[in-house]
Amino acid sequence: MATDAPPPPEGSTYTGPVQPTAEAYLAAQASEEFADLRRSYRSFAFPLTVAFVTWYLLYVLLCNYAGGFMATKVIGNINVALVLGLAQFATTFLIAWLYSRHAAAKLDPKAEAIKFRMEADA
């Protein structure tokens, strides 16, 4: 695997970026800052996951047990099953977009602060 990085100067003892110790990782994990990061992630991800799985299972159950309702024509040959099936795709992309915004606004700054602190201490 070739890299474009120049070789270290002759006599240099540089071996790469300084890595935090295992103790530093454990301390960061036990910190209130990391707990806040986890809380921010979980408060967003868990409710949306439960909501989407519920929505998906409702669709599957309707397809299996409410065939008459799902076969109801909406416009032309487009029926309720097709509309709800396409809505599954739409909600998947909506959740991905919402998570991306949430991560950029709330999670990434907190994670960067923890990373910066750990690298500065190393």
Report the alpha-carbon angle 39-18-119, nearest 5.
30
What is residue 24's predicted lDDT score, i.e. its pLDDT?
85
Contacts of 106 (CB under 8 A, 6+ apart): 40, 44
3-state secondary structure of 21: coil
Q: How far is CA 115 from the centre of its chain?
A: 18
At residue 22, does pLDDT exceed 90? Answer: no
Encode pLDDT of 45-75 as tens digits: 999 999 999 999 999 999 999 999 999 999 9
What is residue 14's predicted lDDT score, i.e. its pLDDT?
59
Band (5; pLDDT cuts 50, 70, 90): low
At residue 105, does pLDDT exceed 60? Answer: yes
What is residue 118's predicted lDDT score, i.e. its pLDDT?
87
Encode pLDDT of 30-40 as tens digits: 999 999 999 99
Matching residue, tokens 């991560």: 103
Q: Work out the mean pLDDT of the chain and round it to a whole number.
A: 89
